[in-house]
Structures are given as structure tokens and as C-alpha cells.
Amino acid sequence: MLPGMGTGGRSEPGPRPEAGGVEVAADALEEGDRPISGGALAPLRIPLFRRVFAGAFISNVGSWMQNVVLGAIAYDLTDSAVFVGVLLFAQLGPMLLFSMVGGLLADLVDRRRLLIGVAITQGLLSLGLAAAIRPDEPSKGLLVLLVFLIGVGQSIYGPTYSALLPVLVGRHNLKGAIALNSAQMNGSRVIGPAIGSALLSRFGGELVFSLNAATYLVVIGALLSVELPAPPGDPSGEQGLRRLLSGLRVAREDRVIGRCLSVIFLYSLLSLPFIGQLPTLADRNLGIESTSPQYGYLYALFGLGALTGALSIGTWLKDWDLERVARQGLLAFAGALAVFGVLRSPGPAYLVVLVVGFFYFAVITSLSTVLQQQVDDANRGRVMALWMMGFGGTVPVGNLIAGPLIEWTSVTTVVLFGAATAVWLAWYADVRREPSRRRADRTLTSA
């Protein structure tokens, strides 16, 4: 998954597209720093952003095609939910282990070259998956290894991509850009599994993995067509391990950044395991089989709700106080999730899961926007690496914990605990900035 967008500082103008045939990020930034009305759609008027956005969407569709097919193939090979869990941990676990390394690289090296290198590697690994499942008895160890390496690549790609995107839009377009990026993430989560499942049943997993590899060519082409300014220097002068861990220092010293990161860690770990356990909930509470079309509708409505929630931050909620939106969204999410957990009829569940999805990603997008507005460019990669660790890396951990708890108690108990945690987080998620910082932001915006 590609992370949210952020703010960017100015750089010296480079050659114009018509002069050199290659668009330069500084040109897009100058255009993006001008106020453009239109909310979430305004960033699409920036050609450079539009190109990168389209590449990200196509690549994410391919990734979700691959993800849903991986789970199906893993279960078909072993008839074991444990192996499916192992594969999920191999895919997402590296975000906990390597995201800080990716964030450090994002703040040190040429981000465009790093992204191109990782994209090439990810494409080759997807082709490796296609080859690995070709035998009648594929090697489970090889599958886990390839998926783990893909996860390592994503833990480097994600923070780097997040640190690069702020140069594509200015502060005036920040909310819209983050909302659009969140929307394409969730839109791809609806479209990708549908395409992947259809192709798997008709053509097999090899074609799906090969098509995902091809989607990286779109990203590579977009990156090759631009020139980007070098990462800003690090004024702290830190080296070695201290530099690697400097994102933690920033989070400790900046109350807003630290609180945003704490909330996303706890939210993902304790309130969101229901997403991974949605097949269990559908089967045990609603009588919906996970292989049935009805389950596909349930998951698609959840994704549609998340897509709408993401877009809301850049459209009808664009002028709202996002600190308040995050806290009130957590309360609304808790109420909707509690209702969803106690339902025993499929009919109302389709409507309620739409509401759950809406507030789930409205909260995520609000917190991401507040964080990106607060962090400075010199530390952006390392701080966004921590965000990715919280948003993605804790998901498999939460599911590993939730599985035994569901067997010991019930899926309803785990869901209600997640709802109760969200209520507490609504109190804890006080991410209001100091008055001096707010004044500085207003001064910068007016300038």
C-alpha cells in the first residue's frame, strides 16, 4: 500500500517541461503552492501529481489482486488457517522490522532512484511468485520467503514514497491530496480483489502475479519522467544508530507527532483486528460463508465506506478542524463497530459495515493529515516510517493475538473490546497543536 501525502517546502525552480522534455517537481510545487479551489479534486489539476497518482492506483490494484490470490492459494495448498496467518505475517511483519531503515534511506538518498530500484525488485519478486506456484506441489517455504522479501521492499518503498509526494503539492492542496491518496488505496482494495478472484478462478494465480509485476512498469515510467530535488539536509548532525532512531526522538519531543503515532499504533493493534477476522465474524455471527458472493458484497461495502470516509476529508469536511474530526470519528467508529459486533442478521450488517468503513478511514485520513502538516521535511521519511509501522506493521500482530482470543471467548467479545478501545482513544487522541505553532501555520499559509 502507498502511504498518505504531506506538505513540502520550496525548492529552486528547475527547467520547464517544454525546455527539457522532463517535468521537474519544483514546477509542480510552485503551481501547487497557489490556492486552488475544489477540495479533493484540486491536486488533480497538477500534471505531475496526476501522473504519479494514476501510477499508484494501478499498482495498488495489482497489489490487492496479488494479496487476495495469495491467501486463496495458501489455504488451498494447506487447508490451514495457521499457514494463511504465517503468510500474512510474512507480508506485513517486515513493516515493524525495516520501516525505520526505509525512512532513514528516504531522508538520505535520491528518492526517485530508490523508488525505481525497489519497484523493479518488487516486480521481479512477483514474477518469482508466478514461477513458484507453477509446480504441482509448490514449496511453502519458498512462498513464505518471496512474500517476506516483498514485505521488506514495501517497508522501504512506503516511507520513501511518502517523503517524496509532498513536493508534488503545496500546503493549500494538502487535505485534498491526502484524501485522494487514501481514496485510491481503498478504491484499489475494492477493485483489486474482485479482479484477482475472477482471474484466479479462470486462469490461475500465475497470470495474476504476472499482471501485478506489469503494474510496476507504470510506476517506473512515471518516476522516470520526472526530476526531483535532493532530500533536505539533516541539521542535527546525528550519525549511525542515533540517526536511525531519530524519528523516535522527534515523536518524543513533538507532542502532536507523538500523539498521532501513539493513536495509530493502538488503534491498529486493538481496534482493527476485526478486519482480518471479518471472515470469522461473517460466518459465526451472520451465517455468511467466506467463499460466498454475500461475503464479497460485505467486504466490498466495507471498502466503499472506507473510500467515502477518505474522500470526505478533502471534500465536505475539508474546512473542519481535523483534530476534532479524528476524535469524534473515533466515537462514531466505536458505536458503529459495537453494533456490527452484536448483529446476527445479514441484512442490517451490510448497512452497518458501510458506516464502520466510513469512520474507520475518516479517522485514519484525519490523523495522517495532522501528522503531515506537523512534521518537517528533514525528518519526514523517518517519521512516516513510524506511521507505517503503526498503520500496517501492527495489523498482523493484532490478528495473531485476536485469533486465540476468539477461540477462547468469541468474535463478538474481541470486536466489542476494539470498540471500547476506540472510545478511550477518542479521549486520548488530543492532537491539538500549541498556539504558537498554529500562528506559524497561519502565517505560512497567508504568505
Residue type, 307: L
Q: Is residue 396 part of a domain?
A: no
Q: Is residue 366 part of a domain?
A: yes
Largest CA distance in the chain: 67
Q: What is the CATH number of the domain that holds 223?
A: 1.20.1250.20
Report the chain's terminal Cα–Cα distance, integer Å. Answer: 34
Distance (Å) of CA 118 to CA 5, 113, 163: 19, 9, 15
The CB-side HSE value for 387 (13 A sphere, CA atoms) comes to: 32
Helix, strand, coil percentages in the chain from 3-state DSSP, rounded to 5: 80, 0, 20
Domain total in the chain: 2
Q: Are residues 285 and 321 both part of a single domain?
A: yes
Domain boundary among 211, 246, 281: 246
Q: Are residues 273 and 236 both part of a single domain?
A: no
How far apart CA 178 and CA 166 sit, in angstroms, is 10
Q: Are residues 62 and 97 both part of a single domain?
A: yes
Name 54's Cβ contacts closer than 8 Å, sequence gap at least 6: 218, 222
Nearest to 4 by CA among 211, 192, 109, 158: 158
Q: Are residues 116 and 54 both part of a single domain?
A: yes
Q: Is residue 403 part of a domain?
A: no
Q: Are residues 221 and 298 both part of a single domain?
A: no
Q: Are residues 138 and 97 both part of a single domain?
A: yes
Q: Is residue 382 part of a domain?
A: no
Q: What is the CATH number of the domain that holds 350?
A: 1.20.1250
How far apart CA 129 and CA 121 sit, in angstroms, is 12
Residue 60, pLDDT score? 86
Domain boundary among 215, 246, 277: 246
pLDDT tens column, 100-123? 777 777 777 787 888 899 999 999
Containing 141, the helix (H) or strand (E) segment is helix 140-164
Q: Are residues 260 and 183 both part of a single domain?
A: no
The SS3 of residue 11 is coil
Strands 226-227 and 23-24: parallel
Q: Are residues 175 and 143 both part of a single domain?
A: yes
Q: Is residue 131 part of a domain?
A: yes
Q: Are residues 354 and 208 both part of a single domain?
A: no
Q: Is residue 385 part of a domain?
A: no
Are 396 and 270 a contacting pair, CB within 8 Å? Answer: no
Structural domain range at position 443: 255-374+409-447
How far apart CA 247 and CA 229 sit, in angstroms, is 22
Give bridge partners of residue 413 from the DSSP assignment: none
Residue matched to cell numbers 504519479? 52
Q: Are residues 242 and 259 both part of a single domain?
A: no
Q: Which residues of the chain have pLDDT under 50?
A: 1-38, 239-240, 435-447
How far apart CA 395 and CA 372 sit, in angstroms, is 22
Containing 226, the helix (H) or strand (E) segment is strand 226-227
Q: Are residues 238 and 276 both part of a single domain?
A: no
Are 395 and 91 a contacting pair, CB within 8 Å? Answer: no
Residue 325, pLDDT score? 94
How far apart CA 354 and CA 190 sit, in angstroms, is 13
Q: Give phi and psi for 6, each to the nearest 5.
A: -150, -170
Task: Give how far the C-alpha of residue 224 lies from the chain's centroid of Cα atoms, to the nearest Å.
Answer: 23
How far apart CA 375 and CA 383 sit, in angstroms, is 8
Does the reported pTM lie above 0.75? Answer: no
Domain boundary among 191, 224, 246: 246
Q: Is residue 394 part of a domain?
A: no
Q: Are residues 272 and 149 both part of a single domain?
A: no
pLDDT tens column, 146-179? 999 998 998 888 777 776 666 677 667 766 777 7
Residue matched to cell numbers 514449496? 139
Q: Is residue 384 part of a domain?
A: no
